[in-house]
């Protein structure tokens, strides 16, 4: 039987249910920053639960994934607006159009090179943007791959999921891409994060599994108790010693936790059908997740 640790969950209302809180990240200011995908807003919430939000120029750009940049600001993708956005901790917003039309930027993460790297889901490319806003794009070897989430690896490469190609990719600074196919058909990987164990951890929304890939391409897969749970995003818990990863079960209204050796715990969310999307480690050591019903939840692990 899985060992169930007690996790206390607090929920903070940040918007109406129609705004769609989606991506979330820890900011450099000790607060958490999140996107409201349907309202064209970026939100900020303190660890005490006080929230504010900032309106983007377009309410239909679809701000999606957000990450802390190397410049002390937050950077985010606009999936429907085909732009990369930047917001300072004071709320000043800048926006950068992408060279490729209809690129569909989705995931974004800071790289070891002082730039931001992002996926162009609809264009099948990986993009790189400097903090001054200069964009380079790299094509992927697989057409229609739908690259989704992206994260910095332990090996100086950026690692990303290829949702429609059923593979994990790694890209070097020069744009060289290595493809690692998944053993399970139709896994449809989405979220990816670097674990404390020197591997990348990812979730397969199609197969209901958590995966682990080492820098040399070795893959392990761990089936969830509920294969229909639709795991979406994943984040490491920040502890160095045998760190675990936490992931959202978008279809099952739960948050899961997986240890480095593959043991899985699951925790139900208090509000029904809350549709958890992004998840991030907060500056307070708790895990924070964005729920599409209009709330941000804080999970205090023991």
Task: Tell me the C-alpha to C-alpha distance, in Å, between residue 67 and each of 26, 208, 217, 236, 241.
Answer: 8, 25, 26, 14, 24
Mean pLDDT of the chain: 95
pLDDT in the model for residue 254:
95
Is it the case that residue 1 has pLDDT exceeding 70?
Answer: no
Would you place residue 40 in the very low, low, confident or very high pLDDT band (cuts 50, 70, 90)? very high
Tokens of 166: 């059923």
Q: Return d(Cα 134, Cα 248) in angstroms, integer.
A: 33
pLDDT tens readout for residues 274-286: 999 999 999 999 9
- What is the H or E stretch that residue 272 is in? none
- pLDDT(69) > 90: yes
pLDDT value of position 18: 87
Confidence of residue 240 (pLDDT cuts 50, 70, 90): low
- Measured CA to CA in angstroms, residue 24 lies from 217, 259, 280 at distances of 28, 22, 6
Q: Which of 124, 255, 278 is nearest to 193 (CA)?
A: 278
Whether the pLDDT of residue 4 is over 60: the answer is no
Residue % of the chain over a pLDDT of 70: 97
Residue 192: what pLDDT?
98
**pLDDT of 5:** 63
Banded model confidence at residue 302, pLDDT cuts 50, 70, 90: low
Determine if residue 232 is labeled as part of a ligand binding site. yes
What are 46-67's pLDDT values in tens digits?
999 999 999 999 889 999 999 9
- Evaluate whether 119 touches 137 at the Cβ level (below 8 Å): no
* pLDDT higher than threshold 80 for residue 243: yes
Catalytic residues: 277
| Residue 275, marked binder | yes
Residue 264 has pLDDT above 70, yes or no: yes
Q: How far apart are CA 274 and CA 262, in angstroms?
A: 26
Instruction: Domain ranges for the chain, please list them.
Output: 8-300
Residue 265: what pLDDT? 93
Per DSSP bridges, beta strands 219-223 and 209-213 are antiparallel
Q: Which of 92, 97, 59, 91 is nearest to 77 (CA)?
A: 97
CA distance readout (Å), 77 to 41, 96, 298:
12, 10, 24
Contact 289, 299 (CB under 8 A): yes
Q: With DSSP H G I counted as helix, E B as strand and the rest as coil, what are the percentages for the chain, rounded to 5? A: 0, 50, 50
In CATH, what is the architecture of 8-300? 7 Propeller (2.130)
- Rounded to whole angstroms, how far apart are CA atoms 7 and 58? 38
Q: 224 — phi, psi (to 5°)?
A: -80, 155
Residue 16 confidence (pLDDT): 87
Residues 6+ apart with CB under 8 A from 89: 27, 28, 29, 31, 72, 73, 74
Q: Is the pTM of this model over 0.85?
A: yes
Size of the chain, expressed as the number of residues it contains? 302
Rounded mean pLDDT, 174-194: 97
Average pLDDT of the residues in 32-48: 96
Kindly write down the DSSP assignment for every residue of 160-216, as one continuous string. EEETTTTEEEEE-TT--EEEEE-SSTT--EEEEEE-TTSSEEEEETTTTEEEEE-TT
Q: What is the pLDDT of residues 97-113, one digit of tens each?
A: 999 999 999 999 999 99
Tokens of 68: 């802390």
* pLDDT tens-place string over residues 110-138: 999 999 999 999 999 999 999 999 999 99
Nearest to 260 by CA among 190, 292, 300, 212: 212
Q: What sign does the CA torsion over 272, 187, 260, 22 have?
A: negative
């Amino acid at each position: 039987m899985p060992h169930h640790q007690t996790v206390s969950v607090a929920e903070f209302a940040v918007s109406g249910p129609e705004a769609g809180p989606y991506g979330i990240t820890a900011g450099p200011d000790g607060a958490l920053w999140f996107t409201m995908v349907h309202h064209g807003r970026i939100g900020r919430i303190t660890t005490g639960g006080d929230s504010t939000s900032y309106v983007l120029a377009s309410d239909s750009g679809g701000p999606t994934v957000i990450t802390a940049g190397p410049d002390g600001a937050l950077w985010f993708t606009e999936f429907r607006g085909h732009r990369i956005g930047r917001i300072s901790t004071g709320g000043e917003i800048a926006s950068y159009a992408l060279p490729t039309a209809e690129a569909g930027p989705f995931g974004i993460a800071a790289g070891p090179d002082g730039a931001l790297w992002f996926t162009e889901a609809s264009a099948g490319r990986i993009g790189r943007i400097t903090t001054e806003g200069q964009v380079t794009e790299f094509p992927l070897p697989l057409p229609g791959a739908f690259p989704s989430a992206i994260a910095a690896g332990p090996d100086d490469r950026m690692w990303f999921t290829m949702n429609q190609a059923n593979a994990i990719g790694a890209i070097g600074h020069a744009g060289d891409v290595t493809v690692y196919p998944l053993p399970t058909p139709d896994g449809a990987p989405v979220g990816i994060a670097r674990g404390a164990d020197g591997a990348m951890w990812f979730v397969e929304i199609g197969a209901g599994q958590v995966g682990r890939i080492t820098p040399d391409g070795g893959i392990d897969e761990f089936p969830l108790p509920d294969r229909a749970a639709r795991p979406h995003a994943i984040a490491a818990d920040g502890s160095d010693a045998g760190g675990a990863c936490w992931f959202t079960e978008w279809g099952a209204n739960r948050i899961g936790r997986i240890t480095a050796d593959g043991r899985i715990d699951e925790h139900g969310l208090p509000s029904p059908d809350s549709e958890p999307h992004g998840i991030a480690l907060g500056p307070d050591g708790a895990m924070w997740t964005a729920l599409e019903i209009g709330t941000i939840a804080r999970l205090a692990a023991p």
